[in-house]
Amino acid sequence: MEPVALVAPVTALEFAGDALLAGTGPEVVAFRLSGGGTAARRNVLREATVLGLRADRGPGATAGRVAAFGGRWLAVLAVRAGGARLAVCGGGEARELRARVWEARWVLGGRLALALGCGAVALYEWRGGGCWLRRASCDGAGALRCAVLAGTGWTRLALAAGTAMGTVVVWRVAAAQVPQQRLCGHCGAVLALCYSAPRGLLASASEDRSVRLWAVGDLGGGDGDGDGSCLLVCYGHGARVAAVVLRGQCPVSAGEDGACLEWDCGGGVRRDRRGHRGALRALALRPAGGCLATGGDDGGVRLWRPRRPAPAPVAALRAPLRPRSVLLAGPRRVLVLGEAGGLAAYEAAAGRWAVVLPSAAGGPRAVLAAAPLPGGEDTLCALGGGDGRLLLFALSCPGDTTELRLFEGAVRGLGWAPRPGLPPGASSLLASGPDGEMLWLDVTHRPGRAPRVQVMGRYLLPLCKQRWHTCAAFLPQGGLLLCGDRRGSLLLFSCCRSSGQAVESTSVANGSTDPVVEGATNPVYEDNSSEPELSCFSHREALPLETPVSVLFGLHEKTGVTSVTCHGGYIYSTGRDGVYRQLRVQDQKLEVLRKHRPCKGLQWIEELRFTADGDLLVLGFHADNFVVWSSRMGENLHCIPCGGGHRSWSYCSSPEAEIVAFIKCGDVLLYQHGVEPREQQVLLPSLHGREITCVRRLGAVEVPGRAAINVFVTGSEDTTACVLVLSECSQAAVPLARLSDHVSSVRVLVPASLVGPGEEGFDDEGLSTLLFSAGGRAQFECYRLLCAADPTSEGAVGCQVIHVASHRLDEHWERKKNRHKLVKMDPETRYMSLSVVPRTSTKQMPTPWKFLAAACSDGSVRVFGLLEAARKLVLVAESFHHQRCVLKVEAFLHTQAGGERRHLLCSAATDGGIAFWDITSPIADAVDALNEAEGEVKPLALGAPLLTVMAHSCGVNSLHIYETPEGRYLVASGSDDGSIHVCLLEVTLDGDNPMAGTCLHVLERVAQPCAHAAHVTGIRVLRPDLLLSASVDQRLTLWQRGPGGLEELSTTFFHVPDLAEMDCWEVVEAGGERWLYCVLCGQGLEVLRGTIPPEPPPSEPPQ
């Protein structure tokens, strides 16, 4: 089999001209720095991992020549056309050397000086067939963990090596028997070194989470003038420090905590760069330009451009009144509402304040809202008072004011909501008062005159303690208004109905009396009256009081909804619970699709901003800091210590600057940051920050002009699952959606069906399938995935996720009656395996319920039922037969010749035993119980297994069942001891009665005791005579099953350490050739393919 794509941790980085090279597994990937994107990819070290890349930068060096090394392997690459081509020099292949290579350095004559694992330094001629020219042994080193070489020739060569004991030992090769210096200070193994010859500085990074800077002098010339003193000790990483470089006199380090820290001359952190999803392993500094590149366990590569240090951009404005709330009216104007009700405006261009309204205008409990007018030079303001009055005016002409009496009590909620179809200068205003009444007003700006107001509707909010709206949006579907309230609920109103009658009333503007226009459907207020004010409250009975057509009560908990946004045909709501939700409207009903938690520690989300380049900016609060979080980059773009979200604040983004105004210490503070190019550029997207524990192929999506694109889903120890495709151009993983509902590791993923073009579940709009995920903390999640072609996206496929249901055993236990009499379930229970019970619905017994079995670490086998329409996932049956951790389950369906069905289940545990169950009756009983019960049902008993086969001497890590053409079943399993077991089963019934019992007979058993050198974690039966197995020993083996046992046909080495799972599928090419594809996951992800051997001719019957 041959590799197709590989996603592995990035272990080496190096700049070579206008290209950045990254070592990922045995491959080297080249990125163009000028044009961007992946330029080339090549496997250079066969079976070893690239641990170092060193470009030839010496005088007279050949441009684009790079040495790649890892383990005992060495290769020399030629980087051509700015990284567009990678060629292996010196014979065209990598060479295996006599010892591990810790470091390589280019010296005079284009040769390589190598630091070897045995504590030796050698001069190597890589051209031709390769030969060793000189060698010197450095005594007294101990166990090396890293090394760095200095000098340009053999006589001037020096070696600095970090040891496992925490010391840095320096030798001169000319006198290698005696170390020149021993640098002591680290409390753990030294993992990385970097030497700067012009300054005579050596930086070291260690397991003790520190970075140290040493004065060692010129190691490559003379005796050096450094005394080996420690100049700087830097502590700031939260885990081991894996890489270090020197930028001038200051070190830059990358750690396993995912942080890239730039230090100042005093040992403090000057710049903290974060964005990767896992530990960092590689770090490189571009000699010209100062760009940094980072790579790590998440398989991502990021480029960091230098950012000039700027002074603190927060300035106190010295407001003329004591501020109650602050509001930005564009990038150059700040509005401040005083505690007494006055209004003042600050013009940033002039740098001075102007009083807009006197202190008594709004009263002590006033609220303020503002909407920009066309052109952006003026602002339409609304000021609601504590006595129920509403003032409407343009900020440029506060004297032309429309004053209305809306309510008997205070105006509690006030906000503008953009509505499609309004003419320029008109906006919709929503105001809520006491008793949960909300008014919809359309306000039209008229230059030189008071604004014109038309009452469009009245709405009633649900009964609760804090009964006012906090945000609103008119949906683009038309006729619907969505509101969020202070109780955390989302409310959907119909706004297409009108009162159908004229209402006579009067209004006041500038002290003149205005009659209402006759014949209007809704009250319209003109400015020809001399009444002291207009009372809308007296005419509220003229409009009907609408109630919500759909309510999601307390969706964002009791802290309130902060914003609602429409984008891409979906609705997004945010709240102070630290999450945002994606929703849609179907048949005038709100439906929650999924819940997102952008990052850890973000307790309060205020708003979402969708950018033109496809990024999603999350505005919220992390502790007492206001942050702008980039979902694409995974980092904070801005972090402002404003004191917390309970204070009044306002944010504005313009092409010139990012501006935040907030109240602190009784004054208004203004933060301004000029718009700059993004410091961070993602060259290779991140996948998972920790080990990938499971992988499944969901199916294929047809994209016009391309071959069918396979869609995969992966789960990881980092508590997330990721839906992804593999890019045709870069062969890199392109994430489509991330599922972050789990609180612990995701250990197993299973789709309800594997579908593709031409199969059930695939239509013209794409692929649709149910996905179940489970893992630690006994947590179970179910999603509906909708994948369709999207030529505009990077992966050419788009994915929509709908969260269907979830289940946790601890919550299930809390709902039990008399639970104090029961033994509480273990909260550390893990789901080890899942299997969907096939075809539980028949014409004779149709049921919308789907069932699936789970293997649990507490020794139980559990069966769950899912009702997708009601979003209900319940536990229906369980058994503790195994009395030990159950590792694998597999459900299969047996159909008799007469059409009689039997649902069978196979479970395997840590003792090597495989049990077979008939779950037909429990499922039928569960369907009856679920149809009768409205809530939870008492779990049924699965009974005793039909048969138990002791297949292995220890735990079963892989299991697969294959139905033969004769109606029998091949059960293949792999174990911790590296063995493979295959048995052939036959299913029969006790008599012709449909209610008869099921019998299982073992017809044949085949065992291969030492099939692999480590755990067998993946196995598949391809045909009755073919098996495929994969192991932690990184071997993929194809076996032929025959009468005498298993015979090895071929073995392929793959590059994914710590293999966790394997999935396989077949593809028939246009010419009829059949290909077998395999995807493997562990410390990375790899896809391989190979041809399937032809089926053997049928054996002739005996004469």
Percentage of the chain lying above the pLDDT 90 cut: 51
Q: Which of 283-297, 360-374, 505-519, 595-609 comes out lowest in average pLDDT?
A: 505-519
Residue 756 pLDDT grade (very low, low, confident, very high; cuts 50, 70, 90): very low
CB–CB of 824/831 below 8 Å?
no
CB–CB of 833/909 below 8 Å?
no
Give the model's pLDDT for residue 843: 60
The model's pLDDT over 318-336, given as tens digits with 9 standing for 90+, comes to: 998 899 999 998 888 999 9
Give the model's pLDDT for residue 499: 39
pLDDT at 479 over 80: yes
CB–CB of 1086/1054 below 8 Å?
yes
pLDDT at 730 over 90: no
* DSSP state string for 730-787: T--EEEEEEE---SS-EEEEEES--B-TTSTTEETTEEEEEEEEEEGGGEEEEEEEEE
The model's pLDDT over 408-455, given as tens digits with 9 standing for 90+, comes to: 889 999 999 988 888 888 999 999 998 899 999 999 998 888 999 988
The DSSP 8-state label assigned to residue 1065 in this structure reads E
Q: Is the model more confident about 931 or about 338?
A: 338
- CA diameter of the chain: 117
> CA–CA separation, 903 vs 330, rounded Å?
66
Q: Which of 355-369, 744-758, 993-1007 comes out lowest in average pLDDT?
A: 744-758
Which tokens in the block code for residue 541?
Answer: 């009975």
> CA–CA separation, 636 vs 786, rounded Å?
30
Give the model's pLDDT for residue 817: 56
Give the model's pLDDT for residue 787: 92
Residue 83 pLDDT grade (very low, low, confident, very high; cuts 50, 70, 90): low
Residues in the chain, total: 1103
CB–CB of 657/1044 below 8 Å?
no
Determine the 3-state secondary structure of 573 from DSSP: strand
CB–CB of 252/245 below 8 Å?
yes
Secondary element (H or E) of residue 802: strand 797-808
pLDDT at 271 over 60: yes
Give the model's pLDDT for residue 503: 32
Output the CA–CA distances (angstroms, integers) from residue 404 to 360, 506, 534, 537, 543, in the order listed: 16, 10, 5, 9, 17
Question: 3-state SS of 126-158?
Answer: CCCCCEEEEEEECCCCCCEEEEEEECCCHHHCE
pLDDT at 501 over 60: no
Give the model's pLDDT for residue 819: 53
Average pLDDT for residues 618-638, to the nearest whole number?
87
CB–CB of 698/692 below 8 Å?
no
Please, what is the average pLDDT of the chain?
86
pLDDT at 992 over 70: no
Cβ neighbours of residue 1100 closer than 8 Å, sequence gap 6 or more: none
CA angle 151, 152, 158 (to 5 degrees): 25
Residue 674 pLDDT grade (very low, low, confident, very high; cuts 50, 70, 90): confident
Cβ neighbours of residue 92 closer than 8 Å, sequence gap 6 or more: none
pLDDT at 509 over 50: no
Cβ neighbours of residue 764 closer than 8 Å, sequence gap 6 or more: none
Cβ neighbours of residue 732 closer than 8 Å, sequence gap 6 or more: 5, 7, 38, 299, 684, 685, 726
Amino acid at 930: L
Amino acid at 1018: G
Phi-psi region of 181 (alpha: psi -120 to 50; beta: other; left: phi over 0): beta
Give the model's pLDDT for residue 1100: 58
Give the model's pLDDT for residue 526: 54
Give the model's pLDDT for residue 1089: 93
Average pLDDT for residues 597-622, to the nearest whole number?
88
The whole-model pTM stands at: 0.88
Q: Is the model more confident about 503 or about 977?
A: 977
708-721 burial, b at 16+ Cβ within 10 Å, e below that, comes to: ebbbbbbbbbbbbb
Give the model's pLDDT for residue 814: 58
> CA–CA separation, 195 vs 285, rounded Å?
13
Residue 1093 pLDDT grade (very low, low, confident, very high; cuts 50, 70, 90): confident
The model's pLDDT over 1041-1079, given as tens digits with 9 standing for 90+, comes to: 988 889 999 999 999 999 999 999 998 887 778 899 999
The model's pLDDT over 341-353, given as tens digits with 9 standing for 90+, comes to: 899 999 988 889 9
The model's pLDDT over 880-917, given as tens digits with 9 standing for 90+, comes to: 999 999 999 999 999 887 778 899 999 999 999 999 99
Give the model's pLDDT for residue 762: 46
pLDDT at 822 over 70: no
Average pLDDT for residues 391-401, to the nearest whole number?
90
Give the model's pLDDT for residue 225: 65
Give the model's pLDDT for residue 222: 59
Residue 995 pLDDT grade (very low, low, confident, very high; cuts 50, 70, 90): low
The model's pLDDT over 124-155, given as tens digits with 9 standing for 90+, comes to: 998 887 899 998 888 766 788 999 999 888 88
- Tracing tokens 């794509």 back to the chain, one arrives at 5
Q: Which of 260, 255, 257 is nearest to 285 (CA)?
A: 260
Cβ neighbours of residue 476 closer than 8 Å, sequence gap 6 or more: 420, 566
Give the model's pLDDT for residue 514: 43
Average pLDDT for residues 942-960, to the nearest whole number?
93
Average pLDDT for residues 942-952, to the nearest whole number?
92
Q: Is residue 933 classed exposed, middle or buried when 0-12, 13-18 and 19+ CB atoms within 10 A define those classes?
A: exposed
Give the model's pLDDT for residue 632: 83
pLDDT at 534 over 80: no
Residue 510 pLDDT grade (very low, low, confident, very high; cuts 50, 70, 90): very low
- Cβ count within 10 A of residue 1024: 17
Residues 120, 126, 131, 132: what is their CA dihedral angle, to the nearest 10 degrees? -20
- Cβ count within 10 A of residue 175: 11
> CA–CA separation, 292 vs 303, rounded Å?
6
Cβ neighbours of residue 952 closer than 8 Å, sequence gap 6 or more: 912, 973, 975, 976, 977, 979, 981
CB–CB of 955/913 below 8 Å?
no
pLDDT at 186 over 90: yes
pLDDT at 504 over 70: no
pLDDT at 933 over 90: no
Q: Is the model more confident about 951 or about 932?
A: 951
CB–CB of 459/467 below 8 Å?
no
> CA–CA separation, 594 vs 741, rounded Å?
9
pLDDT at 962 over 60: yes
Residue 497 pLDDT grade (very low, low, confident, very high; cuts 50, 70, 90): low
Give the model's pLDDT for residue 298: 93
pLDDT at 560 over 60: yes
> CA–CA separation, 777 vs 830, rounded Å?
6
Give the model's pLDDT for residue 792: 78
- Output the CA torsion sign for 694, 699, 704, 707: positive
- Cβ count within 10 A of residue 872: 17
Q: Which of 642-646, 777-781, 817-821, 983-987 comes out lowest in average pLDDT?
A: 817-821
Determine the 3-state secondary structure of 100 from DSSP: coil
